Every structure is written in C-alpha cells, then in structure tokens.
Amino acid sequence: MAGAATLRRRLAAREILLAPGVYDGLTATLAEQAGFEALYLSGAAVAYTRLGRPDIGLTTMTEMTDTLALIRDRVALPIIIDADTGFGNALNAERTMRAYERAGANALQVEDQSYPKRCGHLADKSLIPAAEMAGKIRAMAEARASDETLIIARTDAIAVEGFEAALDRAGAYLEAGADALFIEAPRSRDQLEEIARHFASRTALMANMVEGGLTPVTSADDLQALGFSLVIFPGGIVRALARTAEDYYASLKATGSNRAFAERMFDFSGLNARIGTPEMLARGRSYDGSAGD
C-alpha cells in the first residue's frame, strides 16, 4: 500500500492496519523496512524527542509540520499524524489541515480536549463542548484539498464525563463528518468490546496501545476480532530507544569505551547500509559525470 488514495480503502479491509509510532526520518525508514503498511507520527513522541518534555501541549503545529515534511521526504508510506486539538479553534484546525496536507499527511487525528492538551493517559484532562468539536471537524473537512485525506476524531471523554458520554460524543463527531473514530483510554476489555459494538459496523475504529497506560495492551489480532480497523503503538519506539540510550550512556561512562555495548548497536557500516548510504553515493555519481570513470 502506498499513497493517499489507498488509506481509506485499506481501513475498510477486514485485516486490521497496524501503524507503529515514528518521530523522524530514521525511525520512519526502519519501520518501512520492517514491512509496515502505514506510520503514525505521534505528537507525544515529537515532544519526548525534539523537546525532551512531556506530552502536555508544548509542541507547536509548525514543529509537527516540519517533522512530517522530513519524514515524507524519506518514505512513501501513508502517514497518520497527530493534530492534537487542531492547535486552537476551528480556524486554527483549518490551517492545521492545510499545512499537514501540504506536508504529506494522509490522515489527521484531532481531539476534543481543551488547549493546552495533555497525553490521553494522564489525569486531569478537560474537554471543549461537543458542538465546538463537531464544528472543528466540519471546518477541517471543508478545508482539505482531497477527500482522501482522512479525519480521525478522538474523544477523551471517558476520563472526564464517563464512558456513555464518550460514546455520545463519538456519534456526534461521526455525524459531523469524521472518517474514523478514536475513543481514547478505555479502561477494560469490556469497554473495547462496547466501543466496537456501537461503531464497528458504521465506521473505521482506531485503538491506541500505550505501554503502562490505562488501556489493557491488546494484540492487533485480538482487536481485529473485536472489530477495530486500526491500531497504533505511538510511543513504544521512544520508550525502547530511551531505555537503550540510558543503558548505552551508563556503559560508556562506566567503561570509557563502546566495546562492552557493541552487540547492542549497529557499527558504522551497518547503520549506513540501513539508511541507504551506498545507494545514494552511487546515485550522486550518476549525475556528476564520474559514474563511468
């Protein structure tokens, strides 16, 4: 699968789409090489890596757009991007849609938290009125250049207003024109099942798996059996790399060398092979007149 026109059709397929979290060109490249069909550009992951800060609304729309453009320049896979709250009201959400779409997004996830927002698995969230969120969705739908750029509507209402209110809000967002629904942070398998019973026959459903978060981590196959169309693992790569980086720095400080860590890292040529250095150098020579020398 490649390109914007295929993502909608892929979400309509029986097999669930598993989109790993990425945050830069390197992680996107490695995910593509691993055989994934789509990528998820996580706002939390960008906050963790570019800012070294928590996911509490500190990243800006332009930082996310710049990151998206760099990833799009590197990979052809469909990219689902976190649009947070749209970074303001409906007019801000329109601008976010236009900027993300120009930078290469295939789907935008937008949520009903007030701004500044926070990670869906943190406490003390607050919401905007459902009617205001529905207006943002309509504005984004009208602003997009292509109907193949999808809008994934997220509600954080479970933690704020309760589970039934979350279902009501999700229904309203679907009526407003959302292409898929994401009910954040269900607390149990029973809630996952209830979400699927309400909506799986009506639209694509997204699930979010956060290691140590509020939702029980569930496999893609299990979520598919429930009726979900898309599952993201948005921050797993950052947690994995952060743990590895912590161990690496501790080893380097303790031993004064990388030798003790050699089996847990690429060497110079190994990394260059994965990022395509030999191929790029050869391609460069084909343009500079030296290829036949």
pLDDT of residue 121: 74
Instruction: Give residue 5's pLDDT.
Output: 46
Predicted local distance difference test score (pLDDT) of residue 214: 87
Alpha-carbon torsion (35, 36, 41, 42), positive or negative? negative
Give me the pLDDT at residue 204, please. 98
Mean pLDDT by 10 residues, the chain (293 residues): 69 96 98 98 96 93 98 97 97 98 98 84 85 98 97 96 97 98 95 97 96 90 97 96 98 97 96 96 90 56
What pLDDT does 72 receive?
A: 98
- Dihedral sign, Cα of residue 42, residue 21, residue 139, residue 199: negative
Distance (Å, whole) CA 254 – CA 54: 29
pLDDT at residue 117, as a whole number: 82
pLDDT at residue number 124: 72
pLDDT at 4: 43
pLDDT at residue number 120? 67
